[in-house]
Structure 1
Amino acid sequence: MTLLEVRDLEVTYPGGAAAVRGVDLALAAGRKLGIAGESGCGKSTLALALLRLLPAGTRVSGEVLLNGEDVLTMRWGQVRAVRWAGASIVFQGAMHSLNPVHRVGDQIAEPVLLHRGATAAAARRRAGELLEHVGLPASRAAAYPHELSGGQRQRVMIAMALACDPRLIVADEPTTALDVMIQAQILRLIERLVADQDVGLIMISHDLAVLADTCDRLTVMYAGRVVEEGPARQVYEDARHPYARALSAAFPRIGDPASRFAPHGLPGDPPDPAALPAGCAFHPRCPVPLDVCATRDQPLRDAGPDRRAACVHVGAAVPGPASAAEDARSTS
């Protein structure tokens, strides 16, 4: 059964910034979906929209079906019940998300008190159990956030997200500020929790390598739209959209001297959501644009078994600059 289904989601901030444009997603319990893209591509906005955490004045349309119920049309009482118990978010930057003047055990216990109606003693016990579940001793419940390392704080954030046994966890850049050894530990922890508790996971990151190693499927966003989606390892190793391919190439492969000594990058930045270019939003940065790309946006097309990509070149592998030039001559 589908745990989460997002249909034609549109999010526009006050002032006209179109941060999310027509996004469709689906996730089953026990599965892991990665969402990738540079800063400004709409990943975090999408995450906040799932639980109606966007600022006042933001226009949201479409459907966000969690266990078949549309979060966007729920009454506020229903939304409060869904948050924590139905779905929870692990925000990026644990030190900024935790309250510095409260002990971490109290912060983990708070949603248990509010949403489960537990006694104070039961909530404290639950906090200790959750800390042990994420690999910390229950005694660390008495610590303040500044007394913990970055990896320990991130484990506290994950414990908080699990406090009310949600079916869906959204992890927004959960390992960005961590060193590679701690990052690996947190990723393995998240994988284990998903498998043990049969929850659905959405992991958001700019790092395709992390998502390919952790998730079942991968969605790549650019300028608020999905530009490629498919099995995570396939998208990472054989991207069909030029943007997804550029993201993948930006990370050197271990044991590959060519990528180590000649890393690839992508010039420029994603466009301003309030002033998107005509046609395909990626065409000003695209290494293989055609004339049609400047005037016509590209829909998601079949790019192989269980894969789609929004590029005029889709149907075969994304061409290099030489073959793109030949395509341009043949269509002129």
Structure 2
Amino acid sequence: MTLLQVRDLTVTYDGGARAVRGVDLTLAAGQKLGVAGESGCGKSTLALALLRLLPASAKVTGEVLLGGEDVLTMKWGRVRAVRWAGASIVFQGAMHSLNAVHRVGDQIAEPILLHKRATREGARRKVAELLEHVGLPAARAASYPHELSGGQRQRVMIAMALACDPELIVADEPTTALDVMIQAQILGLISRLVAEQDLGLVMISHDLAVLADTCDRLAVMYAGRVVEEGPAAQVYADALHPYGKALSGSFPTIGDPASRFAPRGLPGDPPDPAALPPGCTFHPRCPVALDVCARDDQELRPAGAGRRAACVRVGRTGAAEDVRARVRGQGREPEH
């Protein structure tokens, strides 16, 4: 069953900055979708648009169908209900998201009291159950955010996201501020809860390795658009778009001296959303760009079973091998 369907989603901020441009995504119930890309590629804007959390100044077009209902055209009362019972979000900075002057138990209980119409005693029992579910003792409900570690605060955020039994969790860089050991614990916790409760998950991250290990499918964004999509493990290990290949190659491989001493990556930064280059927006940084890339933008096209990529080389004989070789060597060829 299709849980979430995003159709031609576009988000434009004041000044003409096109942060998201024509994104199409589909998520089935119980499926985990990762969205990857550098800072400035539109990932967080996409996450906020799914729950209609963008500022009023942002112009949003397209459709965000959650259970068949378009979040973008709902009345505000319905949106408020959907944000907790239909879908909820886990932000990356728990200390910035939690209220510093309220106990965490009260903050978890607030949506339960409001949306579930529970009694205070019922909400208290639910809070204790949620905290234990995310690996915290129920007594932590009496703590203030500053009395908890970073990993514990992130667990509180996950408990809050689960408070009203949503069908979809949107996790926006949920482990960015955590050390590696705690990050692994939080990722394992999210994966376990998603599996146990048959939830849909959209996870935003710049780390392809994390997404490949956590998610079923992976969408790579660049300059507001999805440039590659497919099974997570395949996209990470064998990306077809040069940008996806560069992202996966920017992380050193443990036990591989070559990747440690000669790390790969890309020079420069993603373009300004208010001043996008013509043609394929990646071509100024692309090590395998052709002349046509500066003229013509590329749409997502089929690239094998369950895979799509927005690259002129996709579908050409030997193109995948050519991209892999040239990204490794950071070469560039003229078009003949």
TM-score (norm 2): 0.96
Query: Which whole-Å CA distance do the structure 2 matches of 1:198 and 1:96 have between them?
Result: 29
Aligned equivalents of 1:251, 1:324: Cα separation in 2: 20
Q: CA deviation at 1:311?
A: 0.6
How does 1:134-283 map onto structure 2 within 5 Å?
134-283=134-283
Q: Per-residue displacement from partner, 1:260-315 (whole Å, max 9, x unpaired)?
A: 12111211111110110101111111111111111110111221111011011112
SS at structure 2 position matched to 1:177? coil
CA distance in 2: counterparts of 1:174 and 1:249, whole angstroms: 23
Deviations 1:159-195 (Å, cap 9, x if unpaired)? 0000000000000000011111111110110010011
Shift, 1:254, TM fit: 1.5
Determine helix, strand or coil for the equivalent of 1:201. Answer: strand
- Structure 1 gaps of 5+ residues are none
**Partner deviation per Cα, 1:2-35 (whole Å, 9 max, x = no partner):** 0000000001011111000000000011110000
Question: What is aligned with 1:314?
Answer: 314
CA contact (8 A) 2:228 2:308 kept: yes
CA pair 97-296 structure 1, distance change in 2 beyond 3 A: same
Q: Secondary structure at the match of 1:218?
A: strand
| Aligned-pair CA distance for 1:329 | 4.2
Q: Give the count of matched residue pairs.
A: 329
Please say if residues 17 and 275 of structure 2, whose CA atoms lie closer than 8 Å, have aligned partners that are also in contact: yes
**Distance in 1 between the 2:56 and 2:202 partners?**
24
CA distance in 2, matches of 1:83, 1:290: 44
Q: Secondary structure at the match of 2:192?
A: helix
Structure 2: segments with no counterpart, 5+ residues: none
Q: Which residue of 2 aligns with 1:72?
A: 72
The one-letter code of the counterpart of 1:277 is P
Q: Is the 8 A contact 1:289 1:324 kept in 2?
A: no
SS in structure 1 at match of 2:193: helix
CA contact (8 A) 2:216 2:231 kept: yes
Distance (whole Å) between structure 1 residues aligned to residue 37 and residue 237 of structure 2: 16
TM-score normalized by structure 1?
0.97
Q: Once the two structures are aligned, what percentage of the paired residues are identical?
A: 81
**For 2:111, what is the secondary structure of its paired residue?**
helix
Look up the equivalent residue of 1:66 and give its one-letter code: L
Q: Residue 287 of structure 2 contacts residue 332 of structure 2 at CA under 8 Å; is this kept in 1?
A: no
Measured in 2, the distance between the counterparts of 1:304 and 1:267 equals 29
Q: Do the aligned residues in 2 keep the contact of 1:268 with 1:285 (CA within 8 Å)? A: yes
Aligned amino acid, residue 154 of structure 1: Q
| Corresponding residue number in structure 2 for 1:106 | 106
- Cα distance in 1 for residues equivalent to 2:306 and 2:50: 24
**Relative to structure 2, which stretch is displaced further, 262-271 or 151-160?**
262-271
- Name the counterpart of 1:41: 41
Cα distance between partner residues in 2 of 1:57 and 1:44: 16
Q: What is the distance in 1 between the residues matched to 2:109 and 2:239?
A: 43
**Which residue is equivalent to 2:94?**
94
Q: How far 1:324 sits from its partner (Å)? A: 7.5
Contact 1:218–1:230 (CA under 8 A) maintained in structure 2 = yes
Counterpart of 2:192 in structure 1: which amino acid? R
RMSD: 1.3
Q: Provide the secondary structure at the position in 2 that maps to 1:204.
A: strand
Q: 2: CA distance between counterparts of 1:175 and 1:329?
A: 42
SS class of match (2:154): helix
Q: Are the equivalent residues in 1 in contact too, given 2:90–2:169 (CA < 8 A)? A: yes
Partner AA of 2:285 in structure 1: R
State the alpha-carbon separation in 1 of the partners of residues 57 and 102 from structure 2.
Answer: 32
Task: Indicate how the Cα distance of structure 1 residues 323 and 213 shifts in structure 2: closer, same or farther if over 3 A, else same.
Answer: closer
Deviates more, 1:181-190 or 1:314-323: 314-323
Counterpart of 2:193, as a letter, is L
Q: Distance in 2 between matches of 1:323 and 1:113?
A: 56
2: CA distance, partners of 1:242 / 1:156: 38
Structure 1 stretches (4+) deviating beyond 2 angstroms?
Answer: 318-326
Residue identity in the other structure for 1:23: V
Shift of 1:123: 1.0
Alpha-carbon offset, residue 222 of structure 1: 0.3
Secondary structure at the counterpart of residue 219 of structure 1: strand
Asked if 1 retains the 8 angstrom alpha-carbon contact of 2:4 and 2:64, the reply is yes
Aligned to 2:303: 303
Q: Distance in 2 between matches of 1:171 and 1:51?
A: 12
Whether contact under 8 Å (1:290, 1:324) holds in the other structure is no
Note the C-alpha offset of 1:325. Answer: 5.4
